[in-house]
Structure 1
Amino acid sequence: MIPLLRRRPTAGQPRRLTLSILRCNPADPASVPHLQDYALDEADGMTLFIALNDIRAHQDGSLQFDFVCRAGICGSCAMLINGRPGLACRTLTRDLGDHITLAPLPYFELIGDLSVNTGKWMRGTSERLQTWIHSTTPVDLDALEARMEPAEAEAIYELDRCIECGCCIAGCGTAQMREGFVGAVGLNKIARFRLDPRDQRSDADFYELIGDDDGVFGCMSLLGCHDLCPKQLPLQTQIAFLRRKMAALGLR
């Protein structure tokens, strides 16, 4: 069992929280989506992740939600928090009201309750966009890796900080209307590999993958991905850059 945060004594009574959680088990034909309320006392420094574990440990062991790292790195605990995509492990209950509504991320396949299969979508997108280093140079496993300029490495690292949590997709109006849209996470992957000097693909090769309405020209620039990214990645900046670069190359 995951150790829960101990409640520290305070001068007054701890705040009483009510979490309304959307429950549904798609594997059970008789399961009907419904909100179920859970009440618990707030602890100092409590996050939604801690609150959910408290509920599962002491009130309802059947509650489904995902977690791995508890540090905002894995992206597993992404969910709708009062209608807004976010990470449960990085959301403090003290920043929310007494009544908190939680629901699974939209768009992704539902596993149960707050658990969705983002990995299936992310893998499909990676295969579709071929997000791996393409090189015709034979690989010598005994050779030292080629040096990279610090500025190049820093630019690649900035985009590599994506944790594939799905928040940008869940908050994207285009993704809700166009099933094939690769979203900000897919376009961010293309931007990352385009910067990598080890990848020998041309600009035309990259833009052939995203030069349609399912790629950079499908984005309506509503800034949902930019506003909701928990890692604060420059997603709209990258999308705008890819558009300008494609136009300059006469690819649109």
Structure 2
Amino acid sequence: MSTQQAEPESQEAPEDPEMKGTQSPQERRLDDKDDGMVDEHAEKEAELQGETVLIKVFRYDPEVEGKQEPRFDDFHVPFEKGMTVLDAVMYARDEYDSSLTFRHSCRQAVCGSDAFFVNGRQRLGCKTQISDLEQPVRIEPLPHQEVVKDLVVDMDHFYDQMHTVEPYFQDEDTPATDDLEEQRQSPENREKIKMSSRCIWCGACMSSCNIAAGDNEYLGPAAINKAYKFAMDDREGEEIKEHRLRILEQEHGVWRCQTQFSCTEVCPKDIPLTEHIQELKREAVKKNLKFW
């Protein structure tokens, strides 16, 4: 008779059908959106197999005579499965015109450097599928930004606004090395600020904001979202939080937001930017009510 013992059954817990209920509303919305786009994307991609795609790319070079006037150049790009806007622009540069200038780096929607204005909407070039767009594909630099050359815009002002809100942890009193303690964050607090930490500094939200277009001093949704991440973090002291709120409630801060949701609509990381701005408005009101 065999003395070999049967292997114990797997102790893995069965998939909880209610697990989706633990997701944040934003995560559930993103999952539903992704599920609904899969079939539609596959159909459009199949239709384009073997075809060429016409892309109309904005061109401008202030340093070259004859190219100082803004214009659009047409490029016919052979479609390949999975082709993104960035792929198409890179093909145009490599095969047709090496002077075509644009920013890109990771090609995985992490660096945020390839934000363009595609078919009238701010999008990441490396994340946007050609098959999801109406033809021809019109590619321009981000609006409301100074164009340096072709699809490259000057991001200095955007970065300056981000730094204005002091987006880093600050201690009210710097402790001695021997007195340093671990700063723990609760899972609940981490969940609250998780979406705000997804920002990749692409500038799409700022470009879409009508308030930022007319008020050059407005902090903008990206900077305010960055401030939200720290203002809502339980590990920061109250004095520092009040200091940051004073920055946000100044004339060109959170109160300039008109709740148009433009920034939320174009954010490639689906951050609920407008909701974060409104929550900071409520926090500013609470702070000021303490003095009454």
Higher mean Cα deviation, 63-72 or 141-150? 141-150
CA distance, structure 2, for counterparts of residue 139 and residue 159 of structure 1: 31
**Residue of structure 1 equivalent to 2:18:** none
User: How far off its partner does 1:158 sit?
Assistant: 2.2
**Residue of structure 2 equivalent to 1:47:** 84
Secondary structure of the residue that 2:288 maps to in structure 1?
Answer: coil
CA distance, structure 1, for counterparts of residue 146 and residue 102 of structure 2: 14
**Residue of structure 1 equivalent to 2:143:** 106
**Residue of structure 2 equivalent to 1:84:** 121
User: How far off its partner does 1:29 sit?
Assistant: 6.6
Q: Give the TM-score normalised by structure 1.
A: 0.87
Which stretches in structure 1 are left out of the alignment for 5+ residues? 1-9
CA distance, structure 2, for counterparts of residue 47 and residue 11 of structure 1: 16
Secondary structure of the residue that 2:282 maps to in structure 1?
Answer: helix
Q: Is the 8 A contact 1:212 1:218 kept in 2?
A: no
1:26 to 41, 50, 62: 62
Which stretches in structure 2 are left out of the alignment for 5+ residues? 1-45
Secondary structure of the residue that 1:126 maps to in structure 2?
Answer: helix
**Residue of structure 2 equivalent to 1:5:** none
Judged with a 3 Å threshold, the aligned counterparts in structure 2 of structure 1 residues 47 and 143 are, in CA distance, closer, same or farther, namely same
CA distance, structure 2, for counterparts of residue 210 and residue 169 of structure 1: 16
Q: Is the 8 A contact 2:61 2:149 kept in 1?
A: yes
CA distance, structure 1, for counterparts of residue 48 and residue 146 of structure 2: 43
**Residue of structure 1 equivalent to 2:219:** 182
Secondary structure of the residue that 1:45 maps to in structure 2?
Answer: coil
Q: Is the 8 A contact 1:78 1:88 kept in 2?
A: yes
Judged with a 3 Å threshold, the aligned counterparts in structure 2 of structure 1 residues 25 and 12 are, in CA distance, closer, same or farther, namely closer
- 1:152-192 deviations in whole A, cap 9, x for unaligned? 23333321110111110111000111110111111101111
**Residue of structure 2 equivalent to 1:217:** 255
Number of equivalences: 242
Q: Which has the higher helix share?
A: 2
Q: Give the TM-score normalised by structure 2.
A: 0.76
**Residue of structure 1 equivalent to 2:167:** 131
What is the RMSD computed on CA atoms of the aligned residues? 2.4
Secondary structure of the residue that 1:39 maps to in structure 2?
Answer: strand
User: How far off its partner does 1:224 sit?
Assistant: 0.2
CA distance, structure 2, for counterparts of residue 242 and residue 28 of structure 1: 47
1:37 aligns with 2:74: yes
**Residue of structure 2 equivalent to 1:206:** 244
- 1:75-130 deviations in whole A, cap 9, x for unaligned? 11101001110001011111112301110002223221111232x23431133222
Q: Is the 8 A contact 2:56 2:136 kept in 1?
A: yes
Judged with a 3 Å threshold, the aligned counterparts in structure 2 of structure 1 residues 24 and 196 are, in CA distance, closer, same or farther, namely same
Q: Is the 8 A contact 1:15 1:98 kept in 2?
A: no
Judged with a 3 Å threshold, the aligned counterparts in structure 2 of structure 1 residues 237 and 139 are, in CA distance, closer, same or farther, namely farther
Judged with a 3 Å threshold, the aligned counterparts in structure 2 of structure 1 residues 102 and 193 are, in CA distance, closer, same or farther, namely same
Amino acid at match of 2:143: P
CA distance, structure 1, for counterparts of residue 214 and residue 151 of structure 2: 22
CA distance, structure 2, for counterparts of residue 74 and residue 85 of structure 1: 16
Higher mean Cα deviation, 154-163 or 12-21? 12-21
Judged with a 3 Å threshold, the aligned counterparts in structure 2 of structure 1 residues 27 and 210 are, in CA distance, closer, same or farther, namely farther
Secondary structure of the residue that 2:72 maps to in structure 1?
Answer: strand
Higher mean Cα deviation, 98-107 or 154-163? 154-163
Amino acid at match of 1:20: K
CA distance, structure 2, for counterparts of residue 240 and residue 194 of structure 1: 13
1:69 to 106, 115, 118: 106
CA distance, structure 2, for counterparts of residue 184 and residue 139 of structure 1: 36
CA distance, structure 1, for counterparts of residue 279 and residue 129 of structure 2: 35
CA distance, structure 2, for counterparts of residue 144 and residue 129 of structure 1: 26
Amino acid at match of 1:84: R
